[in-house]
Structure 1
C-alpha cells in the first residue's frame, strides 16, 4: 500500500511540476539516507514536504493539489462519479467514500465522514480528524466540482469542510457514461 501511495505522489509531482523537481526531491532523499535510492523509494509525505519547501508553497495546498490531480485519473474519477448523478448528490454520498475506497484498496485508511446539508450548503465533518485527509478531500471536492460543472466555494472550518453551492450547472461538466470512455470521431477502416 505504501509503495502505491508513494508512486502516486511521485506521479503527481512529475505531472504537475516536472521531472526536474522529481529528480531534485529524489536526490535530497538519497542524501538524507546516505545512499542512492531508486526513484520512488523516498516518495511519500516527506517528498511533498520537500517539494513544498522548494516551491515555497504551503504543505496543505500541496495536499489539496494532490486531491485535485487524483480526480483527473480516469479510474479514480469513475469511482467518484458513481457516487452521484449531480454535484450535490455526490457530496451527500461522501459518507460512503471510506467503504468505496476500501473495496478498491482494502489497506487504505480513509477517515469516517459525516455529511450535513442545509439549503445550498453542505458540511463534511471528519469523525476521525486528519489534516492530511482534510486537505486531500478539499482537492477531491474541488476537482469533482469542475468535473460536474458546478460553481461552489469550499472552505475549511475547524474539523469541517463547508461547500456552498452557487450553481450546479455553471458550465458544462465532463461527459460521464457508465459504459466507460466513448470514442468520438473515430476513423473506421
Structure 2
C-alpha cells in the first residue's frame, strides 16, 4: 500500500505568501485555478498531500518560464531575508553567533522547530566538517525539492552573518541530499543586525 506523503500547511502557507509577494496575487490564484483545486488560499494548521505543493510549483514554473529549483532557492532566500517572515530567520539565527556555529547547530534544527510547531516534521540533518571550513550537510527523509530551499536559505544566511561561502549540492537521491559548504571568509562584510533578546521580551 502506497503511503501518502503530507506537507504541513504552515510551509505551504508561507510559500503562498512568497508567491503573492514576489509575483503577485493573480499568479497564485491562476496557478490554483489552472489546477482546478477549488481553493484560493492555504490553511496553515492543516496538512496537505505533498503532490498539491509540487503541482503548484510545477504550474508556477510554467507560468514564469523558470526552472523549479531556482524558484525553490528564491523561496529559501525569502525565508531569511523578508521581514514579514522574521520568525523563521530568528529560529535559524539562534543557532549561533557566527556562521560556523549556525552550520553546526543545524543538527538541532528539527527539535527547535518542533518546540515552535509540535507537528512540523523537518529532515534529519547531520553536519560534518570534512576539512577546515568545509562542511558537508547530509539531510535524510528529505521531501522532494526541499534541498533547494535549504540551499537558498544557507546562501542567504551566509550573507546575513557577513560571511562569504560557496555552496553546492554534491549528491541527491530519492529522499536524501548532501550539501557542500565551503566557507571562504568568516567575516567578509558586515552582517545584518540581529538582536538576541529585547527588553521586556518574554
Shorter-chain TM-score bucket reads 0.7 to 0.9
Which one has the bigger strand percentage?
2
Structure 2 distance, partners of 1:160, 1:70, is 21
The alignment yields a C-alpha RMSD, in angstroms, of 2.1
Instruction: Structure 1: state its 5+ residue gaps.
Output: 182-189
Structure 2 distance, partners of 1:106, 1:77, is 18
Structure 2 distance, partners of 1:180, 1:23, is 39
Q: CA deviation at 1:129?
A: 4.3
Once the two structures are superposed, residues 95-152 of structure 1 have per-residue CA deviations (whole angstroms, 9 ceiling, x without a partner) of 1111111111222211111100120211101133444221121111112112111111
Q: CA deviation at 1:180?
A: 4.3
The one of 40, 48, 54 equivalent to 2:63 is 54
Name 1:148's counterpart in structure 2: 161
Sort the Cα spacing of 1:121 and 1:179 in 2 relative to 1 into closer, same or farther, 3 A: same
Structure 1 distance, partners of 2:28, 2:196, is 35
Q: When the two structures are superposed, what TM-score results if normalisation uses the length of structure 1?
A: 0.84
How many residues in Structure 1 have an aligned counterpart in Structure 2?
177
Structure (1 or 2) with the larger CA radius of gyration: 1
Q: When the two structures are superposed, what TM-score results if normalisation uses the length of structure 2?
A: 0.79
Match runs of 1:33-182 below 5 Å: 33=37, 36-40=38-42, 44-72=53-81, 73-117=85-129, 118-158=131-171, 159-180=177-198
